[in-house]
Copies of this chain bind each other. A is one copy, B any other.
Amino acid sequence: MADLLDFDSRPLLSLLPEGLAARLSAAATPVDYDDGETIHSRGDDKPGLSIIQSGAVRFAIPGADGSYITTSILGPGHCFGEAILFAHLPRAYDAIAVGETRVEQISKPRFDRIFDEEPALARLMLEATTQRLYAVLEFLDDVRRLPLLVRTAKMIAGMARSAKNAEEVECSQSDLAFTLGVSRVSIGKALSGLQDERLIVLGYGRIGVPDRAALDQWIADRTPLQALKRGE
């Protein structure tokens, strides 16, 4: 279960000019985590900014029944911890490594110093945060407007976009169900539907996307109002 969703926003690291990225990196302590290891828990309040170097981080809340509800998964280049740095909120989610994951942690004092000395950083962090905000708002709109079949297709297309192997998405149906907030039965039905349309190929723990352009087109045909959001 990799690249589940990073809400289609550009990672902070890809926005930073080289010098700034290097300076942040120099101030950071890299920490390695094994698959499934906890990076921080809900409620922790040790402040600092974290930047994902490799691997991915899943943010989730333990459900009443012991299962985890995944809110988002961020991949390399994305940062987290802004909430605690800027908004003075406690960690709202457990953060768990997905696969071998390296995270660079920058303590609040060090980050503050760089933030104050590098005026460009503020603008870029605002860019990253704003993009995430609007990506989440779009997702929220989708939940209210689109039938599950289309939402599922969109999610898969998004995952394919950020996957290494563009032809295939590694993700179990259960994970998809959690992420979309529906039952496994419903996801199974939606996936069957998409396979019937020849848009995806179901596998074991993976979903093949033979023709991403076709998938994108199929989605676009069913979300007429969202076209301009993608920047055209």
A binding-site residues for B, Cβ under 8 Å: 42-43, 61-64, 69, 71-72, 82-83, 86-90, 92, 115-116, 119, 122-123, 125-127, 129-134, 136-141, 143-145, 181, 224-225, 228-229, 231
Contact = CB atoms under 8 A, between A and B. Distances in A.
A65 B96 CA distance: 42
B43 A87 contact: no
A184 to B, nearest CB: 14
Contact of A69 (B129, B130, B141, B224): B141
Contacts of A115: 123
Given A64-B225, A123-B122, A86 B130 contact: yes
A200 B20 CA distance: 53
- This protein's copies in its complex: 2
Contact of A231 (B90, B116, B145): B90
Contacts of A134: 83, 87, 89, 92
Given A82-B126, A83-B130, A129-B129, A137 B228 contact: no
A157 to B, nearest CB: 19
A49 to B, nearest CB: 11
Contact of A132 (B64, B72, B133): B133
Contacts of A140: 71, 136, 139-140, 143
B228 A42 contact: yes
